Amino acid sequence: MSKFAKKKDGDIPAVSTASLPDIVFMLLFFFMTVTVMKDSDIMVENTLPNATEIKKLEKKDRVIYLYVGKPTTEYQKQYGTESKIQLNDKFANVNEVGDYILAERAKKPQELQNVLTTALKVDKEANMGIISDIKQELRKVNALKVNYTTYEGDAFNNLK
Amino acid sequence: MARRAGAPEVNAGSMADIAFLLLIFFLVTTTIATDAGLDRMLPPMEPPENPPIIRQKNIFTVNINKNGQLLVEEELTDLKDLREKAIAFLDNGGAPSGSEEYCNYCKGKRDAESSDNPSKAIISLKNDRETRYGTYITVQNELVAAYNELRNREAQRLYGMDYTAMEALYLNPETESSVKDELKDKVTNIQGLFPQKLSEAETSTN
The predicted model gives B135-148 an average pLDDT of 90
Distance CA A116, CA A63 (A): 6
Q: How confident is the model at residue B12 (pLDDT cuts 50, 70, 90)?
A: low
Q: Bigger pLDDT: B204 or A93?
A: A93
User: With a cut of 70, which residues of chain A have pLDDT below it?
Assistant: 1-3, 5-10, 31, 33-40
Distance CA B163, CA B152 (A): 5
Question: Which residues in chain B touch residue A128, judged by CB atoms under 8 angstroms apart?
Answer: 127-133, 136, 203
At residue A136, φ and ψ (nearest 5 deg) are -60, -45
pLDDT of B202 over the 80 cut: no
Q: Is B142 on the interface with A (CB under 8 A)?
A: yes
The predicted model gives B103-128 an average pLDDT of 84
Distance CA A118, CA A145 (A): 6
Answering whether pTM is above 0.90, one says no
Distance CA A137, CA A94 (A): 8
Neighbouring C-alpha atoms within 13 Å toward the C-beta of B47:
6
Q: Where are the alpha helices (DSSP H) in chain A?
A: 20-34, 73-79, 97-107, 128-140
The predicted model gives B197-204 an average pLDDT of 70
Q: How confident is the model at residue B29 (pLDDT cuts 50, 70, 90)?
A: low
pLDDT of B206 over the 50 cut: no
Element (H, E) at B59: strand B59-64
pLDDT of B145 over the 80 cut: yes
Look at residue A6 in the predicted model and tell me its pLDDT: 62
Distance CA A139, CA A99 (A): 12
Distance CA A86, CA A94 (A): 10
Is the Cα dihedral B79, B81, B87, B90 positive or negative? negative
% of chain A at pLDDT higher than 90: 8
What's the Rg (C-alpha) of chain A?
26
pLDDT of B158 over the 80 cut: yes
What residue in B sits closest to A142 (Cα-Cα)? B44
Kindly provide the ipTM of the predicted complex, given to two decimals: 0.74
Residues 78 to 117 of B: which have CB under 8 A from any A CB?
A: 79-80
Q: How confident is the model at residue B152 (pLDDT cuts 50, 70, 90)?
A: very high
Q: Is B42 on the interface with A (CB under 8 A)?
A: yes
pLDDT of B131 over the 80 cut: yes
pLDDT of B5 over the 70 cut: no
Among candidates A18, A136, A145 on the partner chain, residue whose Cβ is nearest the Cβ of B12 = A18
Question: A150 and B38: CB-CB below 8 Å?
Answer: yes
CA distances for B92 relative to B40, B55, B105, angstroms = 24, 15, 10
pLDDT of B23 over the 80 cut: no
Ranges of each domain in chain B: 56-200
Neighbouring C-alpha atoms within 13 Å toward the C-beta of A105:
18
CATH tag, A40-159: 3.30.420
The predicted model gives B102-128 an average pLDDT of 84
Residue type at position A128: M
Q: Whose CA is closest to B153, among B58, B87, B73, B200?
A: B87
Q: Bigger pLDDT: B68 or B2?
A: B68
Residues 89 to 128 of A: which have CB under 8 A from any B CB?
A: 117, 119-128
B112, B94 contact by CB (below 8 A): yes
Distance CA A83, CA A47 (A): 13
pLDDT of B205 over the 60 cut: no
- To the nearest 10 degrees (0 to 180), the angle between helices B133-159 and B82-90 is 40
